[in-house]
Amino acid sequence: MNERLSTEELYEIHKKKTEKTMKMVITTIVTMFLFALYVLLKDG
């Protein structure tokens, strides 16, 4: 790839990657939270 990406294009790519990562992180946290809640309620 010899063509230089414009700053805007780079920003868009970075934004997409960041959004993907954030979604993964949030999903993981929510899953862990729900699992912990389930274990607490089950044992309670």
> Which amino acid is located at 24 in the chain?
M
What does the pLDDT read at residue 15?
97
What does the pLDDT read at residue 44?
75
| Per-residue model confidence as pLDDT tens for the chain (44 residues) | 557 879 999 999 999 999 999 999 999 999 999 999 999 999 87
What does the pLDDT read at residue 43?
86
Q: Output the six-digit token pair for 29.
A: 């946290």
For the chain, the domains span 1-43
What does the pLDDT read at residue 2?
58
Helices (H), the chain: 7-43
